[in-house]
Chain A
Amino acid sequence: MQSLSASTTAGVLLDLSGALILLLAFACLASKLFNRYVAYYGAQSVVLAFAAGTSAAAFHSAELWILAGLTLAIKGIAIPLAARRVLVTRLKLKRDAAMSTGLSTSLVAGGALTAFAYLVTRPALLPHGTVAAAVVPLSTAVILLGALTMVVRRHTVAQLIGWLIVENGVFLGAITLVATFPFIVEAGIFLDIVAGVLIMIVFVSGLTRELAQASAAELRELRG
């Protein structure tokens, strides 16, 4: 399969998108407001859709164009909208205080993981001068940052966003590493993500409700 050269326009644009996507993953890790998580995830997905569009234009691939459209519609618009309506607004989520480490510690860890991603993927794995050599370390770093978000944040909504960021990282790797991924598989992955988000939203709402009742019961016990 052909790999784009890093010096073409498409290569430069993909590289730039990858950097932006990494930056937005950092922004999510550093933020403390639920609204911002969703907003950063949405923005990241829009950039990802742009990257997929760039790849589609470079390879003249109709399937990649469809994927870019799906990314924009589902990850960029539908999921953030649903998460904001059903989770953030309805459950009245504002500040996320449940962290297992301090904010600065998690940012330092994020930086270390980014360096690690470069160390693992850069040297021998990828041929120099291709766009894959530039973007795959970025996408690996995004995957690790998403996983880190899931680890340091204890709130279910933050963990859900962390998983979606991991998914975005894998997708970024997929469009640069193997542009010839069969379309039916990509479509299946989209279906999985949508079903996953739906099921997770049910669990998050149910858990929040049950836990609220449990703490109310505790209060009554204390009073009586």
Chain B
Amino acid sequence: MTALAIIIVLAPLAGLGAALAGAGARTAGVISAAGAAAALGCAIAMLARLDARPPLSGLDGFLYVDSLSGFFLLTVAGVTLLAALGSVPYIAAQEDAGELSRFQVRLYFSFFSPFAALMLASLETGNLGLLFVLVEASTLASAALVGLEGRARSLEAAWKYVIISSLGVTIALAGTLFLFYSASALHPASNLALTWPYLLAHAHALAPQSLRLAFLLAVVGYGTKVGLAPMHTWLPDAHAEAPSPASAMLSAALLNTGMYAIIRFLAIAHARLGETYPRAVLLSFGFASIVIGALFMVRKGNFKRLFAYSSVEHMGIIAVALGFGGVLGLYGALLQVLNHALAKTVLFLSSGDVSLRYRTREAAKVSGLLSAVPLTGGALLLAAFAVLGSPPFGVFLSELTIVRAGFAGGSPVFPLLLLALLGVAFFAFARTITPMVTGPPPRPEGPLAQPYRDRTAVVVTAAPLILGLAALLVLGLWIPAGLDTVLRHCAAVIG
């Protein structure tokens, strides 16, 4: 098991090795994808073994993997695989078009791999201090991806991202300090005491006053990385300026890593403070994010910004689901994590293809996708409806679960408000996407660019889109028994 845990973190680094050895975009991309596939395989193997055995714990608690970390490992490794596949044609096409220099291509892959590895590592540690260190390091690695294109706008987005996220994570560190302080009565001396399973097991002895402050600071701090409003301001800029596969990584992997950290704090707060306080905190930030996300989606403009605000909205939905609580709420929240990750990855990867062909990121300048690029257009449309919660895709199922959890929790006000906001988001999102996909095909005087060198690149572009959509469809129709068990284990961990 320990070996599996180590391979999960080290395998994605293969891409870094390739980039440092001077491989081009295609080789480095394929090697990154192979590394991610290995990590994904190991994550699945790990989950299967965790089913029957107690959580993996070692190295004084610095290494700790239970079902919850296993589930997030699965999500992040899966997204990394799809994004690495998407990087191969996207980055190669940008290099061929002369938009990225050879140096920038190598830079991309030398930061893409550590970014993935650091996120996976942060999911495998039980030590809350080390969690901070790894999350902050993953911020720094991804900042280079956001600023990769080197124009004033992308550098500004990268600056905004790195400075706001660093401030946020530093606040989370202050929260971690207060959590450790709340454990003073336990006289913790060894490293083991600063790990979250220990704190969870001894939650009854924590001082409630400082635990309350600690939980609030952690939600604000890690919430900055999650993109919860009002700390979300870095998110639309960073997602819009990063290369599309990197945007997919930010939206579908990085935000979830932040959410994982919040869930760990939630479990401890829940065990000591009861339901009311964590519920109030999570519902406030959650609904604020859904409102902000839905309102800003109304504005037409850059379609990658639209997807970014949709991420803010979805992170809000997950926070609300965690706030609703109960087995149903937690189950729905985690299912939503996985479904949103898949749908958003497909959306960002297909948006990458669109921006390569139309040479724009403005929604108003794109039309007739279905007739011009049927496969990408179809994937974009399906993923858009999936992310908005239409049946038969997975998001529908998870959002239904969350609304049911809300009704089961008592007051019908919150689930009804959630439904209304989902409706607003649906119309706002569809209003921009529908004319892009349908509409008349592009004018004859402005022919589409042919960004790819050969047919292989076209196939590699399509592969992650089809894989992601297929997984979404499966999750919408049927939840595999293994996944169901894992989700129930996770819900039990959170409490």
A98 within 8 A of partner (CB): no
- Asked if residues A207 and B177 are in contact (CB atoms below 8 Å), the reply is no
What sequence of 0s and 1s flags, for each residue 130-166 of chain B, a beta carbon within 8 Å of any chain A beta carbon?
1011101100100110010011100110110011001
A174 within 8 A of partner (CB): yes
Closest chain A residue to B192, Cβ basis: A182
> Given that A174-B177, A210-B151 are contacting pairs, would A195 and B140 also be in contact in the complex, using a CB cutoff of 8 Å?
yes
B210 within 8 A of partner (CB): yes
What sequence of 0s and 1s flags, for each residue 160-180 of chain A, a beta carbon within 8 Å of any chain B beta carbon?
100100110110011001101
- Asked if residues A185 and B130 are in contact (CB atoms below 8 Å), the reply is yes
> B167 contacts which of A1, A150, A184, A203 (Cβ < 8 Å)?
A150
- Asked if residues B152 and A210 are in contact (CB atoms below 8 Å), the reply is yes
A-B contact count (CB 8 A): 113
Bound CA–CA A82/B162 (angstroms): 19
- Asked if residues A182 and B127 are in contact (CB atoms below 8 Å), the reply is yes
B180 within 8 A of partner (CB): yes
> B127 contacts which of A120, A185, A211 (Cβ < 8 Å)?
A185
B187 within 8 A of partner (CB): yes
- Asked if residues B173 and A170 are in contact (CB atoms below 8 Å), the reply is yes
- Asked if residues A160 and B163 are in contact (CB atoms below 8 Å), the reply is yes
Chain B residues in 8 Å Cβ range of A97? none
Interface majority SS on A: helix, strand, loop or mixed? helix
> Given that A166-B167, A181-B194, A200-B162 are contacting pairs, would A189 and B177 also be in contact in the complex, using a CB cutoff of 8 Å?
no
> A189 contacts which of B127, B132, B143, B156 (Cβ < 8 Å)?
B132
A108 within 8 A of partner (CB): no
B57 within 8 A of partner (CB): no
A129 within 8 A of partner (CB): no
Bound CA–CA A182/B159 (angstroms): 31
B214 to chain A, nearest CB (A): 10
B450 to chain A, nearest CB (A): 30
B360 within 8 A of partner (CB): no
B110 to chain A, nearest CB (A): 13
Chain A residues in 8 Å Cβ range of B180? 177-178, 181
- Asked if residues B137 and A199 are in contact (CB atoms below 8 Å), the reply is no
Bound CA–CA A156/B184 (angstroms): 39
Total interface residues in chain A, CB < 8 Å: 43
Closest chain B residue to A207, Cβ basis: B155
B111 to chain A, nearest CB (A): 10
- Asked if residues B133 and A143 are in contact (CB atoms below 8 Å), the reply is no
Chain A residues in 8 Å Cβ range of B132? 185, 189
- Asked if residues B155 and A210 are in contact (CB atoms below 8 Å), the reply is yes
- Asked if residues A195 and B137 are in contact (CB atoms below 8 Å), the reply is yes
Chain B residues in 8 Å Cβ range of A188? 129-130, 133-134, 137
B61 to chain A, nearest CB (A): 10
> Given that A1-B187, A206-B150, A211-B152 are contacting pairs, would A192 and B133 also be in contact in the complex, using a CB cutoff of 8 Å?
yes
29 A-B pairs whose Cβ atoms sit less than 8 Å apart in the complex: A1-B184, A1-B188, A3-B184, A125-B209, A132-B181, A143-B171, A143-B174, A166-B167, A166-B170, A166-B171, A177-B177, A180-B188, A181-B129, A184-B130, A184-B191, A185-B127, A185-B129, A185-B130, A192-B136, A195-B140, A196-B136, A196-B140, A199-B144, A200-B159, A200-B162, A203-B158, A206-B150, A207-B159, A214-B152
Task: List residues of chain B with CB under 8 Å of any chain A CB.
Answer: 62, 127, 129-130, 132-134, 136-137, 140, 143-144, 147, 150-152, 155-156, 158-159, 162-163, 166-167, 170-171, 173-174, 177-178, 180-181, 184, 187-189, 191, 194, 209-210, 213
